Structures are given as structure tokens and as C-alpha cells.
Amino acid sequence: MAVSIQLANCTPYTAKVYLNQSSAPLTLKPCAATFGYLPFFANRNRTPKDPPAPGDWGNLNAIYVQLMNGATALTTQVYGSVAEPTWAETLKDLCLWILWNELVLSQDGICHGSAILPSPLAST
């Protein structure tokens, strides 16, 4: 059974997400009033017990997030060494919520653990 990780952009800016050194970003539309403030999602493969392929989620992950206002990058955050959560069930999808200055993981609508903060000295 294939499982995935859903990336959700909860910011009012376009999010460009590079997952595990992918060459092309996932581009997520902003969360805006015209869309009822609902976040936009993108799905990627999840192989929680294996090293990740570029663009997929694996047992240890590097995430690079750029929040864009048009063509201008407002912030760039690097999240290095984000491990597959120990609480996560391997046969269920995960959700990665993208916020302004942090990431949050959830499964089955429940947020476990604390927020994932950017790697120090690697973000702007």
C-alpha cells in the first residue's frame, strides 16, 4: 500500500518547497480569503523506513521552504535532519503543515510533538 505525506501551505504567500534535494520545487498557492482561507495541499511519496529519494519523504529529511510574494522571496527556511516521527503509523498518511517560521506534523488530524523549527544559521 502506498502512503504519502501531504504538504499544506497555511501562509498568505506562495510556498516553494524543496524536499530532500529535489531539483524542482513543489509550488503551493497561498492560503487566502478568496479560497476561504483553506490551505493548498501537495502529495509526495512517503517511505518511512528508507532513505528518501529526491522529492520524497523518508526516514531522515531535509526541507527547504521559500515563501514568495510574487517573484520576491520573503523568507527562506532550511529544516535539516527532520526524522520520520516515532509516533507515526507507517501505513497511514502524514500531513506537514507549513507555517511562517515553523513546520508541524500531524496524522489522522492530531498534531503530535512540538513544532519543527528551522536549522540555526541556515535560514534568512
- 4 phi/psi in degrees, rounded to 5: -135, 170
Report the 3 state secondary structure along 76-89.
Answer: EEEEEEEECCCCCC
pLDDT attached to residue 114 = 87
How far is Cα 46 from Cα 19, in angstroms, rounded to an integer?
11
State how many domains the chain has. 1
Q: Report if residue 118 sits inside a domain.
A: no
What's the pTM?
A: 0.89
How far is Cα 47 from Cα 18, in angstroms, rounded to an integer?
17
pLDDT attached to residue 12 = 92
Q: Report if residue 117 sits inside a domain.
A: no
Q: Report if residue 24 sits inside a domain.
A: yes
Q: Report if residue 124 sits inside a domain.
A: no
Q: Report if residue 123 sits inside a domain.
A: no
Q: In the predicted model, what is the mean pLDDT of residues 22-42? A: 86
pLDDT attached to residue 2 = 75
Q: In the predicted model, what is the mean pLDDT of residues 30-57? A: 87
pLDDT attached to residue 123 = 56
Task: List the domain range (segments joined by +) for residue 69.
Answer: 3-111
pLDDT attached to residue 49 = 85
Q: In the predicted model, what is the mean pLDDT of residues 82-106? A: 93
If 0-12 CB within 10 Å is exposed, 13-18 middle and 19+ buried, where does residue 123 land? Answer: middle
CATH number (domain holding residue 107)? 2.60.40
Q: Report if residue 27 sits inside a domain.
A: yes
